[in-house]
Amino acid sequence: MNLIELIGRFHPILVHLPIGIFVLVIVMDGLTRFEKFAYLSTSIRLILGIGILSAILSLVTGYTLSLEGSNNQDLVNNHQWTAIGTTALFTAYFFLRKKLMAKRLAHTYTLLLLLTMLAWTGHQGGSLTHGEGFLTEGIGETQTTTETQLNIKDINQAVVYKDLVQYTLNQKCVQCHGSEKQKGKLRLDDIGWIKAGGKNGNLINTLNPANGELIKRILLDDIDEHHMPPKEKTQLTAAELVIFQWWINAGASFDKSVAAMTPDAKVIKALASFKEENQKQVKAPIKTREPIEPLDEKRQEKLEKMGWVVSQVASDDNHIRLTGYNIEISLKEALALAAENSEHVIELKLSFSALQDNDLNNLSKFKNLEKLWLDHTGIADNALKQVTALNNIEYLNIVGTKATASGIKNLMNLPKLNMIYVQGTKITAEERLALESTKSNAKLYFGDSMKSVITDTLFTKKAE
């Protein structure tokens, strides 16, 4: 870790200072309204000043931390700007407080505004460390009902939009773009909403179909953060991609039948496999984990004391993710303790930590592990050797490490591993080709932009 990174790491600790101080200021300021507490007024300016200084320090460390990058850059940007705004407001208040005190109502509103901004900034920061919706998850959740039975008697008579496009949208997009959630201010559950578009306007570009937001998002390389559906979700099948492109290029009609749109050979092929591919995906066994009792509170405390961030993987699943971002003792020791809870741990995140190649001796004990992040650490092939013991691993991130092709090769036979993120490792282009041609479920993801282009080769892709 270099100095800049180290400075950034202080942010999560430091932010509590301005938050605490500002809350104190607001409370004290409110109390000065009462004669009994009027004496507090003299100290507020000093405390407020200290609060502003600590807020500026938090801004600096926060900015430094943001340089490490995040998979949630939008949230980071929003948080940054609200934090700057909040600091500016408190600074303005520092100078205008005397004047405001004279106007009781204005003063009250100002205090309320300050408190709201502070809470909002804190909430955004919390969402970044604990995940969006951390506060509200589990409240008012309902199952979205979507049509999942594909019922087409004669494919030629099927209405392309309603029977194919909307059917796919219901299955793969509406959970985030529907009545429950409107990610990107977008709904895809009905013609009207599709026509209305999202945050960035129209979804379908009639003049230049390939440039429409909908098709662009779908065709983006699947590791691009703007790719839809997000990479962890069920992806569109090859046939679905062909049909979407066909539909959009032909003008995105909402009522034309298949026959009326005169499909060419490629589309006919896609239509023929549409149902089969789709059903295969639907029938693919939904992950069933053995239910498990919640982690014992004392054990959780012990982990947290050591610096582990412990979070439940889902509101209805007591398995946990451990994040080793703030661990100050040796990671080897921390992992040894964590291994005592290996039944519970299915995700282990050691990104950007001080992890070294020989720290993972206990890894094989995490026999339930499904996801593992070792990116941007000091690990190399030795650590990967430990990974080979993880028969349930599905996702591995070793971006920016010294891993080499020979280390990665040993992983390719892991039964469930299907995603390995490897950009910035020591693999050469040739080795990459060799690895990719091995018979394996595992797919290697590089950061370069191998944009998916819809060509016939899609059909020759390895069966998933």
DSSP 358-397: TTTTTGGG-TT--EEE-TTSB--HHHHHHHTT-TT--EEE
Name the minimum Å distance from CB 251 to ligand HEC. 18
Cα dihedral value 321, 326, 332, 338, nearest 10: -30
Residue owning tokens 């926060």 = 62
Total binding residues toward ligand HEC, as defined by CB under 6 A: 23
Q: How far is the CB of 143 from ligand HEC (least distance, A)?
A: 15
Which one among 12, 198, 324, 407 touches ligand HEC, defined by CB under 6 A?
198
Q: Which residues pair with 373 in a beta bridge?
A: 349, 397
**Calpha distance 45→94 (Å, rounded):** 7
Decide whether 5 or 224 has the Cβ nearer to ligand HEC.
224
* Shortest Å, Cβ 203 to ligand HEC: 6
As a three-state string, the secondary structure of 60-78 is: HHHHHHHCCCCCCHHHHHH
Stretch of 2-10, 53-61, 192-200, 355-363 lying at the interface with ligand HEC (CB under 6 A): 192-200
Q: CB under 6 A: which stretch of 19-27, 225-233, 253-261, 268-276 binds ligand HEC?
A: 225-233
Long-range contacts of 254-258 (CB under 8 A, 24+ apart): 254/161, 254/162, 254/191, 255/159, 255/161, 256/159, 256/160, 256/161, 257/156, 257/157, 257/158, 257/159, 257/160, 258/155, 258/156, 258/157, 258/158, 258/159, 258/160
Query: Please, what is the minimum distance in Å from the beta carbon of residue 215 to ligand HEC?
Result: 9
Q: Which two tokens stand for residue 132?
A: 């969006």
Q: How far is the CB of 126 from ligand HEC (least distance, A)?
A: 18
Q: Tell me whether residue 216 or residue 299 sits nearer to ligand HEC (CB atom).
A: 216
Q: Which of 246, 251, 247, 240 is nearest to 208 (CA)?
A: 251
Distance (Å, rounded) from C-alpha 447 to C-alpha 80?
26
230 binds ligand HEC (CB under 6 A): yes
Residues in 73-92 that interact with ligand HEC by CB under 6 A: none
C-alpha distances (whole Å) from 342 to each of 90, 266, 310, 311, 320 are 46, 49, 13, 14, 10
CB of 132 to ligand HEC, least distance (A): 8
Contact flags string 124-163 toward ligand HEC, x per CB under 6 A: ----------------------------------------
For residue 362, give the nearest of 335, 387, 340 by alpha carbon.
Answer: 335
Residues 371-410: x where in contact with ligand HEC by CB under 6 A, - otherwise, as a string: ----------------------------------------
DSSP-assigned beta bridge partners for residue 100: none
Nearest to 214 by CA among 231, 224, 223, 201: 201
CA-based Rg of the chain, rounded to a whole angstrom?
27
Closer by beta carbon to ligand HEC, 218 or else 387: 218
The residue with tokens 């030629």 is 156
Residues 249-268 that bind ligand HEC (CB under 6 A): none
* Strand pairing report for 371-373 and 419-421: unpaired
Binders of ligand HEC among residues 170 to 189 (CB under 6 A) are 172-173, 175-177, 183-184, 186
Q: For ligand HEC, which is the closer residue by CB, 37 or 81?
A: 81
Residue 217 CB, shortest distance to ligand HEC, in Å, is 4
User: Where in 199-218 is the site for ligand HEC (CB under 6 A)?
Assistant: 199-200, 203, 213-214, 217-218
Give residues with Cβ within 8 angstroms of 317, minimum separation 6: 289, 291
**And the tokens for 237?**
């099948």
- Asked if 52 is part of the footprint of ligand HEC (rule: CB under 6 A), the reply reads no
Which positions from 311 through 350 interact with ligand HEC, judged by CB under 6 A? none
Compute the least distance from the CB of residue 176 to ligand HEC, in Å.
Answer: 3
Residue 195 makes contact with ligand HEC by CB under 6 A: no
Among 14, 15, 117, 228, binds ligand HEC (CB under 6 A): 228
Out of 226, 268, 294, 450, name the contact with ligand HEC by CB under 6 A: 226
* 194 in Cβ contact with 188 (< 8 Å): yes
- Closest distance to ligand HEC from the beta carbon of 75 (Å): 10
Give the nearest distance from C-beta 15 to ligand HEC in angstroms.
25
Which residues form the interface with ligand HEC (CB under 6 A)?
172-173, 175-177, 183-184, 186, 197-200, 203, 213-214, 217-218, 226, 228-230, 233, 236
